[in-house]
Chains A and B, each alone.
Chain A
Amino acid sequence: MLKNLCQKMFGRSLWVYHANSGGCNGCDIEVLNVLTPYYDVERFGIKLVGSPRHADVMLCQGPAMRSTAKALRRAYDAMPAPKLVFAIGSCACGGGIWYDTYSVLGPVEKVVPVNFYIPGCPPRPEAIIYGVAVAVGLVDKKTAPVKFKQIELPIPRYHPADLTGRDELVVYEKVEKV
């Protein structure tokens, strides 16, 4: 739904606005690195604009801070309607290393709704291009949640009250697999 809307409305040409709400500038430099001739993203139609009123996409770097949360929200509200928000870097995705200090509210999604996440501290320029390509629908995402489960637990979950002791053995009455 969102993908179709993206492809239809944006015409595969994203104008990005670059909002730093209190990051360390590492992610800023990587984002600007994407726009240099080395990773020339203007060949894909991605362009950096200076005002949120011209932008389709907001690239958020840095956590939501107490001092800048209001300004970030205002910048988000100023963007025209089909809009996407990218959280770039581990600060914007989860709050960063200083997630529990007094001035940090947490991840960016506490203030603005986030559509795409690009973790990394900072993410490589290739990772940022990849994240934008996932959003436009050029590539499929590679990550999926990894879960390792025991196939069969050898000992069922028990409560000590349910154990009935015989002379040699202690037998569990309710055989219940976890």
Chain B
Amino acid sequence: MSVLSKLKEAVVCLKAGRVTLPYPVQAQPVPEKFRGRPLFDAAKCTGCGGCANNCPAREILLFDLCQEIRILQYLGRRCAYCGRCADVCPEKAITMSREFETGTNSIGDIQQRVELFMSTCQRCGRCFKEPSALEQLKLKGYRLDDVAHERWVFRSKPYLETEPVVDDIKIEWD
């Protein structure tokens, strides 16, 4: 009986053939909807903080160094790759990549840090999107106006003005 069962087992094994995947030699393609670790695109990010608000693991941190610089830090230690940050991002700056080979010997290797420049609105004092390269030339703060002393002329002021002083940026009224 035992010999019979062994023979049966051998037949089953032979019928199955070779099933071992050749992973380390040749990687299998990941499934279509696989979500790997998120990648942050600093060129598209506006620093709105939607991802930091919606992260269930609280792994995306957002803090301001000063009025103009905002740091977006993704630590990724307990990130479950749920993709809520990518869903909520209005600018589609976060993409869920398909890379999964993230084994490291130090946990700091998976963190991402994005430094954002936040301009300050002269009228309301809040932050708005960084101007494009062409608009930057038109802005006074970006230009070296005081050539003799080679100082950056500063447009951000510690107080707010009721009247628009410069019309560098045309405000579009809806």
Contact = CB atoms under 8 A, between A and B. Distances in A.
Contacts of B65: 157, 178
A130 to B, nearest CB: 4
B135 to A, nearest CB: 12
A10 to B, nearest CB: 15
A33 to B, nearest CB: 11
Contact of A131 (B20, B68, B103): B103
B6 interface: no
A107 B77 contact: yes
A170 interface: yes
Nearest to A124: B100
Contact of A163 (B40, B56, B80, B157): B157
A120 interface: yes
B77 A153 contact: no
B100 A91 contact: no
A129 B113 contact: no
Given A91-B78, A146-B113, A154-B136, A134 B104 contact: yes
B174 interface: no
Contacts of B33: none
A163 B117 contact: no
A108 B154 CA distance: 50
A160 B154 CA distance: 11
B105 interface: yes
- Grouping DSSP codes into helix (H, G, I), strand (E, B) and loop, the A interface class, with mixed when no group exceeds half, is loop
Interface residues of B, number: 58
Nearest to B140: A169
Contact of A90 (B78, B108, B111): B78
Interface stretch (A15-23, A75-83, A92-100): A92-100
A148 B113 contact: yes
Given A156-B152, A172-B154, A116 B105 contact: yes
Given A119-B102, A150-B117, A126 B78 contact: no
B154 A148 contact: no
Contact of B102 (A38, A127, A160): A127
A127 B78 contact: no
B111 to A, nearest CB: 5
Interface in A122-178: 123-124, 126-135, 138-139, 141-150, 153-158, 160, 163, 169-172, 175, 178
Interface in B66-115: 66, 68-69, 75-82, 99-115
Interface in B137-174: 141-142, 145-146, 151-158
A163 B77 contact: no
A171 B151 contact: yes
A155 B78 contact: no
B151 A119 contact: no
Given A39-B20, A95-B78, A138-B24, A147 B68 contact: no
B112 A40 contact: no
5 residue pairs, one from A and one from B, having the closest CB atoms: A131-B103, A94-B77, A94-B78, A160-B158, A121-B80
Given A95-B77, A97-B78, A131-B103, 15 more contacts: A37-B20, A97-B80, A123-B102, A134-B104, A134-B105, A141-B103, A141-B105, A142-B102, A143-B104, A146-B40, A147-B115, A155-B152, A155-B155, A157-B65, A169-B153
